[in-house]
């Protein structure tokens, strides 16, 4: 057992662009004895780790889990007791559909010190990188952030509630439920509502599909869009071209 105090720091790695990680997150990575990292993080961030740090991939790709959540919880405790400081490096912000709170709750039962470093959530950063404001006067006064797939692998009931509102709707982990999402919004007579789907947001391999509720399924097929992707629904999607051109002019100057 390590002589170091066993502790866990849950760290948000941001949405994908390496530069969108916080200084506090980098400091946590630098001080880690063990880093358990997910599939959605930018692995270039691991360069900040100490040469002595143990790096363990615990994410999933294409539905294949390296570890189940219960195994990750147990691994955090065992590694903390063995080596000291464990950093759990997670994409986006760990407290927004990232199970960060669940992991903290679990390890506290074993006496570990726990810390949290927030990350920039993909739910706001990915639309912003495409010039889509989630709120804008005259277009949207609020926004929903919803998980597309619940623990029971069903579509969230909140999607139907959000479809009745005038708010911008951001759906994470929703590509597998796209047909159901389209059906729900169509039943609210929102076939012409703008929608954007952004795959690998803020990364070099980012892909974007823009359409309406009635056309988006064809666009997804045409552009071969898949997970990981974020779905943005609402009139603010129409602002994308305007903001992108303004940003381009600023860069040129």
pLDDT tens, N- to C-terminus, the chain (253 residues)? 567 899 999 999 999 999 999 999 999 999 999 999 999 999 999 999 999 999 999 986 555 566 888 999 999 999 999 999 999 999 999 999 989 999 999 999 999 999 999 999 999 999 999 999 999 988 899 999 999 988 888 999 999 999 999 999 999 999 999 999 999 999 999 999 999 999 999 999 999 999 999 999 999 999 999 999 999 999 999 988 655 555 545 444 4
Q: Name which of 88, 147, 119 is nearest 16 in CA terms.
A: 119
Catalytic residue among 33, 38, 79, 177: 38
Half-sphere exposure in the Cβ direction for 169 (13 Å, CA):
26
**What is the pLDDT at residue 252?**
42
DSSP state of 6: P
Given 27, 60, 136, 223, which residue is catalytic?
Answer: 60
Distance (Å, rounded) from C-alpha 76 to C-alpha 85? 10
d(CA 69, CA 219): 34
- Interatomic CA distance for residues 91 and 12, integer angstroms: 6
pLDDT at 253: 43
Q: Which residue has the tokens 């948000």?
A: 12
**pLDDT for residue 251:** 46
Write down the pLDDT at residue 149. Answer: 86
Does residue 60 carry a catalytic annotation? yes
Strands 85-90 vs 54-57: parallel, antiparallel or unpaired: unpaired
**At 128, which helix (H) or strand (E)?**
helix 122-129
pLDDT score of 68:
87
User: Among this protein's residues, is 173 annotated catalytic?
Assistant: yes
17 is catalytic: no
Question: Of the residues 79, 90, 93, 173, which is catalytic?
Answer: 173
């Amino acid at each position: 057992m390590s002589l170091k105090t066993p502790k866990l720091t849950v760290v948000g790695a941001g949405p994908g662009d390496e530069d969108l990680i916080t200084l506090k997150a980098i400091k946590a990575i630098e001080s880690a004895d063990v880093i358990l990292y997910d599939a959605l993080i930018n692995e270039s961030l691991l360069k900040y780790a100490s040469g002595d740090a143990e790096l363990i991939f615990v994410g999933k790709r294409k539905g294949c889990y390296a570890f189940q959540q219960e195994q990750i919880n147990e691994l955090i405790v065992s590694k903390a007791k063995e080596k000291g400081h464990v950093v759990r490096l997670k994409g986006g912000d760990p407290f927004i559909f990232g199970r960060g709170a669940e992991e903290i709750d679990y390890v506290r039962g074993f006496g570990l010190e726990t810390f949290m470093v927030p990350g920039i959530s993909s739910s706001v950063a990915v639309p912003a990188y495409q010039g889509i404001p989630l709120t804008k006067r005259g277009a949207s006064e609020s926004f929903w952030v919803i998980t597309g797939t619940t623990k029971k692998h069903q579509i969230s009931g909140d999607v139907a509630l959000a479809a009745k509102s005038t708010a911008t709707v951001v759906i994470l982990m929703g590509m597998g439920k796209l047909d159901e999402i389209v059906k729900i919004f169509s039943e609210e007579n929102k076939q012409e509502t703008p929608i954007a789907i952004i795959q690998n947001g803020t990364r070099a391999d980012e892909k974007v599909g823009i359409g309406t509720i009635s056309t988006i399924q064809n666009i997804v097929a045409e552009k071969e869009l898949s997970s990981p992707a974020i779905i943005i629904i609402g009139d603010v999607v129409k602002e994308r071209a305007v903001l992108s051109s303004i940003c381009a002019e600023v860069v040129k100057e």
